[in-house]
Amino acid sequence: MGCRIYLVRHGETLWNHALKYQGHADIALSERGVRQAEALARRLSSERFAAFYASDLSRALDTARIIARPHGGTVTALPELREISFGEWEGLTRDEIKNRFPEISRQWWTAPYTTRLPGGESLCEVATRAVRALQQIAANHADEQVLVVSHGGTIRAAIGSLLRMDLNQYWRLRQDNAALNIVEFFEEGKAILMLFNDCAHLVGI
């Protein structure tokens, strides 16, 4: 066994519900997001985790803390696990972005891997920092299980990169709030996706 990473998207926020782009904006979990995190915490309460990591944005950090609570664990915050920086798009809906940034939005939705957002990042930059962070976590926890909480775009970019997908198609990877993914890392650059976007714990929430 290599390092098994339980990779989780944070619970829902009010901006998720309103379909606003969040990026680096530090938006807290909604009441429903807290319930989602608590449901996943119950599901994972019998697992053994060597460590807990999360993006330093509160929606991810608080999700990780809720999951770590039954284990008596503390969470290490890593900025490298943050969501894509959407720059000037943060707080806007898709329709607002299309109206205000018609040219760059067409480029982004066609070729996000190389398109740098106004005041933000390209998907290439996100994938690079996220994969590097996950590989470092795996190197630090050989033959152990760890829990990592990050963001939808970041998780899709990282998993897509590890699977050697064309990241211009990363939107084809669905990632729901509080979804569970499991990735097992072996030597650097090699990983197996064992579970993806599992939301069984969210039934009825």
From the list 38, 80, 83, 121, the catalytic residue is 83
- The tens digit of pLDDT for each residue in 11-32 reads 999 999 999 999 999 999 999 9
Whether the per-residue pLDDT at 189 is higher than 70: the answer is: no
C-alpha–C-alpha distance, residues 175 and 20, integer Å = 16
In a domain, 116, yes or no: yes
With CA atoms as reference, report the closest residue to 33 among 21, 18, 44. Answer: 18
Strand partners, 150: 9
C-alpha–C-alpha distance, residues 99 and 180, integer Å = 34
99 annotated to bind ligand: no
14 annotated to bind ligand: yes
In a domain, 77, yes or no: yes
In a domain, 205, yes or no: no
In a domain, 203, yes or no: no
Q: How far is CA 172 from CA 87, 109, 128, in A?
A: 23, 12, 19
Whether the per-residue pLDDT at 198 is higher than 90: the answer is: yes
With CA atoms as reference, report the closest residue to 7 among 46, 42, 39, 55. Answer: 55
pLDDT at site 31? 97
Among 65-79, 105-119, 185-199, the range scoring the smallest mean pLDDT is: 185-199
In a domain, 204, yes or no: no
9 annotated to bind ligand: yes
Active site residue 38: no
Q: CA 147, 149, 151: angle at the middle one, nearest 5? A: 150
pLDDT at site 187? 75
Q: Identify the sign of the CA torsion 6, 24, 31, 17.
A: negative
- Residues with Cβ within 8 Å of 9's Cβ and at least 6 positions away in sequence, in order, are 149, 150, 151, 152, 155, 175, 176, 177, 178, 179
Half-sphere exposure of 63 (CA within 13 A, CB side): 34
CATH of the domain at 116: 3.40.50.1240
Q: What is the mean pLDDT of residues 85-107?
A: 96
Whether the per-residue pLDDT at 1 is higher than 80: the answer is: no
Active site residue 187: no
151 annotated to bind ligand: no
Q: How many domains would you assign to the chain? A: 1
Average predicted confidence (pLDDT) for the chain: 96
From the list 10, 24, 151, 201, the catalytic residue is 10
pLDDT at site 146? 98
10 annotated to bind ligand: yes
**Residue 159 is part of which domain span?**
3-198
